[in-house]
C-alpha cells in the first residue's frame, strides 16, 4: 500500500462505512424483508420453546392447575403429556424451518449485495484517471476487489443474519424473563454492564488488529504482483531469496495481527460464557429458596432457567462473530475509501459529443503538475490542423508523453485548455472523445485472446467480426506478419502478448488502431526497441494508418519524424523550438545538435543518416 493511502487512517467519511452500502440494499429489500420476517418467527418459536416443558413439569408431574388460557386441554395427565410433546415437536420443526428460510433469503440478499458492490467497485476503478492507477499499487487494488469484497460477503451473508436472529431472540427472552419474574431478571441483567465493558475493550482491540491485517493483505498482494510481473528481472539477477523475504515480512505482519485478533476473540468468547454462567448461581440459589417458601413453582424456576441458558447461545455466537464483523467492517472501510474517491477526470454535466471527422487540436497555455507538485508541462501553446502531422521530440522527461496523454483525457491540464475542433475537451463526452482517438505505444497491451480478437478490441463497441479484423490488418499492411503465426489470426496469445515478438505485438497494435478508424492518431515511440526489419515494416504500416488523420508522433528517432508538417522540441516541459525539419536544421539549435549526434551514432555503425522522408524510404 502506498504510504499516502488514505485507507491507512479512516477518514470521517468512512468511519461508518456500512452506511455507504445502504443504497445497495434497494434491489434486495424484498428478499431482506422475507428474511427478517422469518428471523422474527424463528425468534418467536425460540421464545415459546421452554413453555411445554414447564407445563409438563407443573401440570403433568406435579398436578398443579393449568393457566386459565389452557383450561381447554384434557384433564388426563397422559393426554396432556401427549399434546405437550407434540407441541414441543412442532416448535422444533418451526424453529428449524424458519431458521432455514431466514438464512436462505438473507444470504441470497447478501450474495446479490456483494455482487453489486464488486461490480460498482470495478466500474468505479475503470472510470478513475491514469494518475489514480499510477499512484495505487495494483496488488492493493486487486486485494480490495477480491479479499475485501470476500470479507464484506462474510459480513453480509454470515454475520448480519446471525446477528439479527440472535438479537431478536435475546431481546425477546429478556422481555419474557422480566414478565416471568422481574426480580430474577434484574439479578441476571446486573451482570450486563460487566459483559459490556469487557466486550467493548476486547472488540476495540479486535478491530484494530483486523484492520491492520486487512492492510497487510493489501501490501502482500502488491509485493506479489510486483515480483511476479517482474519475474524475468527477479530470476536473472538472482533476487528470489530477497523477494521471498520481502513477501514473508509483509505476510508475517498480517499473520501477527490475525493471531492477536484470534486471541482477543477467544478471550471475548470465554468472558461472555463465564459471565452468563455466573448468572445461574444466584438464580438457582434464590429460586430454590422461593420454591421452599411456596413463592415459586418448580416449573416456573425451570422455565426461567431455560430462558437464562437460552441466552448463552446468542451471546456466544455474537462473540464468535467478532472477527467476522471486524473483518467485514475493515473491508467496508477500504472499499468505501475507493468508492468515495472523486473522479479526477469528471464528465461535464452537459457534455456534448465531438463533431464527426475533423481532428483539429489546439493547446493553449497548457501546464501540468504531478501529484508531488513537480511541473511536467509549462505554458505550452500548440496548434495542429486537421489531417496534419505533428512530431514531438526532446530528451527523456521533457513532457512529450504527458502532453499526448492529455488528448484522450487520461489527465486534465493543471492550467490552460486543450480543444478538439474548437471545443474544450472537458466539455466533450468522455466516451465520444476517446472514440475519436487511437494510441499506439512502445509497449502495447495485448490481452489473453486470439489475434483477431485483440485487433477487434480497438473497434468502437468492440463488435468487429473476424473478417473485419483481418481486413483492418490488411489495410494496415501487417497481414503477412500476423497470418504467418502458428494459427494465423486464431493464434491464442498469452497475457500481455508474451508469446509474441515485439514487432508482432506492434503489428497487432497498429491493426487495432486501424480497426478503430480514429480522427486523431497518437504514436508514442512505437518503433523503439525493434530491429531494423521490424522497424521498416512498422513505419510503412504507420504511414498507411496516419494517412488522412491528425497524427502526433513522439519519437527519439529523427528519421521517423522528419516528414512531419510541424516538429516541436520540448525541453523541461516547455516549447524550445518549432518548425519543419529543414527549418530546425538551419537554426543550429537543439534539434540540429540532436540530428548531428544521431548521424554520428549511425556513422560509427557504418550507416548513413537518411536524407529522405519515412514515406519515401518505406513506402
Three cell numbers at 135? Answer: 499512484
Q: Who contacts 370 (Cβ-Cβ below 8 Å, separation ≥6)?
A: 376
531 domain-assigned: no
Type and span of the H or E element at 112: helix 77-127
**Angstrom distance (rounded) from CA 110 to CA 7:** 24
Task: Tell me whether strands 566-571 and 389-394 are parallel, antiparallel or unpaired.
Answer: parallel
The CA-atom distances, in angstroms, between 510 and each of 408, 504, 514, 530 are 18, 10, 6, 14
pTM (2 d.p.): 0.75
**Angstrom distance (rounded) from CA 577 to CA 567:** 8
490 domain-assigned: no
397 domain-assigned: no
* Sheet containing 574-579: order of strands: 437-441, 520-524, 550-554, 389-394, 566-571, 574-579
Q: Which pLDDT belongs to residue 75?
A: 67
Domain that holds residue 23: 19-339
175 domain-assigned: yes
Three cell numbers at 184? Answer: 430474577
453 domain-assigned: no
* CATH assignment at residue 270: 1.20.1560.10
> Would the CA dihedral through 91, 95, 101, 105 be positive or negative?
positive
DSSP state of 411: S
DSSP-assigned states of every residue in 228-294: HHTHHHHHHTT-HHHHHHHHHHHHHHHHHHHHHHHHHHHHHHHHHHHHHHHTHHHHHHHHHHHHHTT
Q: Which pLDDT belongs to residue 423?
A: 93
Q: Which pLDDT belongs to residue 386?
A: 92
**Angstrom distance (rounded) from CA 298 to CA 276:** 21
558 domain-assigned: no
**Angstrom distance (rounded) from CA 403 to CA 366:** 9
**Angstrom distance (rounded) from CA 279 to CA 187:** 7
Number of residues in the chain: 619
pLDDT digits (tens, 9 = 90+) for 69-101: 676 677 677 787 888 888 889 989 988 898 888
Count of Cβ atoms closer than 10 Å to residue 571 Cβ? 13
Number of domains forming the structure of the chain: 1
**Angstrom distance (rounded) from CA 555 to CA 174:** 77
pLDDT digits (tens, 9 = 90+) for 452-502: 999 998 887 657 888 999 999 999 888 889 988 999 999 999 888 888 888
End-to-end CA gap in the chain? 49
For 612, phi then psi, to 5°, come to -120, 165
Q: Whose grid coordinates read 466500474?
A: 123
Q: Which of 325, 326, 312 is nearest to 166 (CA)?
A: 312
* Sheet containing 415-420: order of strands: 375-384, 361-369, 415-420, 423-424
Point out the residues of the chain with pLDDT beneath 50: 1-13, 611-619
384 domain-assigned: no
Q: Which pLDDT belongs to residue 603?
A: 67
554 domain-assigned: no
Amino acid at each position: 500500500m502506498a504510504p499516502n493511502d488514505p485507507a491507512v487512517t479512516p477518514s470521517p467519511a468512512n468511519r461508518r462505512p456500512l452506511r455507504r452500502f445502504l443504497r445497495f440494499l434497494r434491489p434486495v429489500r424484498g428478499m431482506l424483508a422475507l428474511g427478517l420476517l422469518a428471523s422474527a418467527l424463528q425468534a418467536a418459536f425460540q421464545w415459546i420453546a421452554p413453555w411445554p416443558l414447564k407445563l409438563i413439569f407443573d401440570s403433568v408431574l406435579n398436578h398443579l392447575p393449568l393457566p386459565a388460557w389452557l383450561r381447554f386441554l384434557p384433564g388426563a395427565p397422559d393426554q396432556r403429556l401427549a399434546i405437550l410433546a407434540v407441541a414441543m415437536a412442532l416448535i422444533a420443526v418451526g424453529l428449524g424451518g424458519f431458521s432455514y428460510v431466514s438464512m436462505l433469503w438473507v444470504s441470497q440478499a447478501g450474495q446479490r449485495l456483494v455482487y453489486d458492490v464488486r461490480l460498482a467497485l470495478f466500474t468505479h476503478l475503470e472510470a478513475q484517471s491514469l494518475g489514480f492507477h499510477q499512484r495505487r499499487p495494483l496488488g492493493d487494488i486487486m486485494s480490495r476487489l477480491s479479499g475485501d469484497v470476500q470479507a464484506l460477503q462474510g459480513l453480509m451473508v454470515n454475520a448480519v443474519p446471525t446477528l439479527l436472529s440472535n438479537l431478536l431472540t435475546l431481546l425477546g427472552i429478556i422481555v419474557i424473563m422480566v414478565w416471568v419474574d422481574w426480580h430474577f431478571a434484574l439479578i441476571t441483567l446486573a451482570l450486563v454492564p460487566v459483559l459490556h465493558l469487557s466486550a467493548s475493550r476486547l472488540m476495540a482491540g479486535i478491530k484494530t488488529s483486523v484492520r491492520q491485517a486487512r492492510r497487510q493483505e493489501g501490501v502482500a498482494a502488491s509485493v506479489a504482483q510486483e515480483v511476479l510481473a517482474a519475474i524475468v528481472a527477479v530470476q536473472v539477477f538472482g533476487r528470489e531469496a530477497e523477494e521471498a523475504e520481502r513477501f514473508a515480512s509483509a505476510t508475517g505482519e498480517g499473520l501477527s495481527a490475525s493471531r492477536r485478533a484470534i486471541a482477543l476473540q477467544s478471550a471475548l468468547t470465554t468472558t461472555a460464557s463465564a459471565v452468563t454462567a455466573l448468572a445461574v448461581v444466584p438464580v438457582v440459589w434464590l429460586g430454590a429458596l422461593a420454591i421452599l417458601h411456596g413463592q415459586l413453582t418448580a416449573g416456573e424456576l425451570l422455565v426461567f432457567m431455560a430462558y437464562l441458558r437460552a441466552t448463552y447461545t446468542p451471546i456466544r455466537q455474537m462473540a464468535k462473530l467478532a472477527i467476522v464483523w471486524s473483518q467485514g467492517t475493515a473491508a467496508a472501510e477500504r472499499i468505501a475509501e475507493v468508492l468515495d474517491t472523486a473522479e479526477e477526470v469528471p464528465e461535464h454535466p452537459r457534455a456534448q459529443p465531438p463533431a464527426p471527422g475533423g481532428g483539429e487540436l489546439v493547446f493553449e497555455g497548457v501546464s501540468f503538475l504531478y501529484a508531488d507538485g513537480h511541473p511536467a508541462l509549462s505554458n505550452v501553446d500548440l496548434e495542429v490542423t486537421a489531417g496534419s502531422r505533428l512530431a514531438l521530440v526532446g530528451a527523456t522527461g521533457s513532457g512529450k508523453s504527458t502532453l499526448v496523454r492529455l488528448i484522450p483525457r487520461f489527465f486534465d491540464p493543471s492550467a490552460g485548455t486543450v480543444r478538439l475542433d474548437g471545443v474544450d475537451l472537458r466539455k466533450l463526452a468522455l466516451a465520444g472523445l476517446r472514440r475519436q482517438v487511437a494510441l499506439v505505444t512502445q509497449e502495447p497491451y495485448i490481452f489473453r485472446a486470439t489475434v483477431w480478437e485483440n485487433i477487434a478490441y480497438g473497434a468502437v463497441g468492440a463488435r468487429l467480426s473476424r473478417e473485419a479484423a483481418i481486413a483492418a490488418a490488411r489495410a494496415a499492411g501487417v497481414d503477412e506478419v500476423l497470418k504467418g503465426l502458428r494459427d494465423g489470426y486464431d493464434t491464442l496469445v498469452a497475457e500481455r502478448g508474451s508469446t509474441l515478438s515485439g514487432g508482432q505485438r506492434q503489428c497487432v497494435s497498429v491493426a487495432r488502431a486501424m480497426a478503430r478508424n480514429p480522427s486523431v492518431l497518437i504514436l508514442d515511440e512505437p518503433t523503439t526497441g525493434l530491429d531494423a526489419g521490424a522497424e521498416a515494416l512498422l513505419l510503412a504500416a504507420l504511414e498507411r494508418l496516419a494517412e488522412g488523420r491528425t497524427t502526433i508522433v513522439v519519437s527519439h528517432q529523427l528519421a521517423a519524424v522528419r516528414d512531419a508538417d510541424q516538429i516541436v522540441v520540448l525541453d523541461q516541459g516547455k516549447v524550445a523550438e518549432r518548425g519543419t525539419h529543414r527549418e530546425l536544421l538551419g537554426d543550429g539549435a537543439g534539434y540540429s545538435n540532436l540530428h548531428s549526434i544521431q548521424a554520428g551514432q549511425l556513422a560509427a555503425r557504418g550507416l548513413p543518416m537518411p536524407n529522405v522522408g519515412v514515406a519515401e524510404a518505406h513506402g
